Copies of this chain bind each other. A is one copy, B any other.
Amino acid sequence: MKKQAENSTGIREIAKRANVSIGTVDRVINNRLGVSAKTKEKIQKIIEELDYQPNIMARMLASKKVIKIAALIPSVSNETGYWNAPLKGINQAASEIRNFGVMVEHYFFDQNAKQTFINQADIILKKGYDGLLLAPMFEKESINFLARCRQHNIPFVLINSDLANQANIAYIGPDLFQSGYLAAHLSKYLISPSQRVLLVNISREIDLHHHLLKKEEGFRAYFEKENIVVDIDKIDVNETDYNSLQKILKQQFEKNRPNLVFVTNSRVSSVAKFFNEYKIKDVKLMGYDFLEENITHLKNGTIDFLICQKPQEQGYKGVMSIYQHLLQATVESVQYMPIDIITKENYIYYKN
């Protein structure tokens, strides 16, 4: 008579009220088969009445299942350390929920080599995961990959750049168009109307361009909407090494020296290097991302603004969203990151 006497909560209470065993209740909760329609209905009604919420801790303990989440993102190259930040966020989330039976595993691909993406995707599918965090840099390959995930019933979250109609549980990242739009607005504080702007896209893989193009669209849209006349020159640089860039920039500056340069991604530090080398001081410079090399140039005044969209938080929230989803919680399906403006004055307080 010492046992669980009169107390009873949760599954046991439901069982008692329904005059069945906890085994049966368990079956309807996890809708396994093997319970008649009648008793199933009866139990479900009681569950609703009691507003029963399963005890996650007990659940995790009993089913020694481990939730396995895969994260597939670009590797940190020596060309750009950008992906360090999302990775850090992913790791932070992982360590916070490791105690709750969650395992997060990383996979990396080379942004300059599509095949590495395809290979990693295959491995992930083969190993089998409960959830996926993906940075869909290669558009076509990602769509293919995600289709297969859907077949395997693997829910996924996209970060950094979005893909339409993929039935993802969430997109977490910037609104690219708006980001470019804001950049244009900021230029108002740097130059006067009818001055000359140079827009620079630096990226090797053409596939990554849709990312940059959306920013460019936003950038141009601002001037149109505000009826501001500016001359916008544009150059696409397909080689990411400094020498190629330097050559192209030099040419461009001789032809049409701009008053403002807007770099559509984190490579802005290379342009800053060019500025320093050629002692260019009267031209304003804006670009993206809170990277050490960029911050250096922000500090010494070469770069005027950096736009940043919380890469670390993208990783963190990405993992957490998958976890929450797997815990049956509902997750906001679009979580645009704020568009942060970083200046010489506030960079100290910016947390990636």
Contact = CB atoms under 8 A, between A and B. Distances in A.
Interface of A: 53, 55-58, 60-61, 96, 99-101, 175, 178, 181-182, 185, 189, 222, 324, 327, 336-341, 343-346, 348-351
B339 A56 contact: no
Given A178-B345, A185-B343, A339-B346, 7 more contacts: A53-B99, A55-B99, A96-B324, A182-B345, A185-B344, A185-B345, A338-B346
A185 B305 CA distance: 13
A341 B306 CA distance: 13
A301 to B, nearest CB: 12
Nearest to A96: B324
A99 B343 contact: no
Contact of A350 (B189, B338, B345): B338
A176 to B, nearest CB: 12
B57 A101 contact: yes
Query: Which 6 residue pairs of A and B lie closest in terms of their CB atoms, listed nearest first?
Result: A57-B57, A189-B189, A185-B345, A56-B99, A339-B346, A182-B345
17 contacts: A55-B99, A56-B100, A57-B58, A100-B100, A178-B346, A178-B349, A181-B345, A182-B343, A182-B345, A182-B346, A185-B343, A336-B349, A337-B349, A338-B350, A339-B346, A339-B349, A341-B346
A18 B128 CA distance: 38
A324 B185 CA distance: 41
A308 to B, nearest CB: 10
Given A56-B100, A57-B61, A189-B189, A349 B345 contact: no
Nearest to A185: B345
Contacts of A61: 55, 57-58, 61
Contact of A340 (B53, B101, B189, B338): B338
A331 to B, nearest CB: 11
Given A185-B343, A343-B185, A175 B349 contact: yes
Contacts of A60: 57
Contacts of A189: 189
Contacts of A100: 56-57, 100
Nearest to A190: B189
A182 B324 CA distance: 37
A90 B96 CA distance: 18
Contacts of A340: 338, 340
A55 B58 CA distance: 12
A228 to B, nearest CB: 13
A188 to B, nearest CB: 9
A290 to B, nearest CB: 10
Contacts of A348: 178
A349 B343 contact: no
A159 to B, nearest CB: 16
Chain B CB within 10 Å, residue with most, of A53, A181, A339, A343: A339
Nearest to A344: B185
A178 B346 CA distance: 8
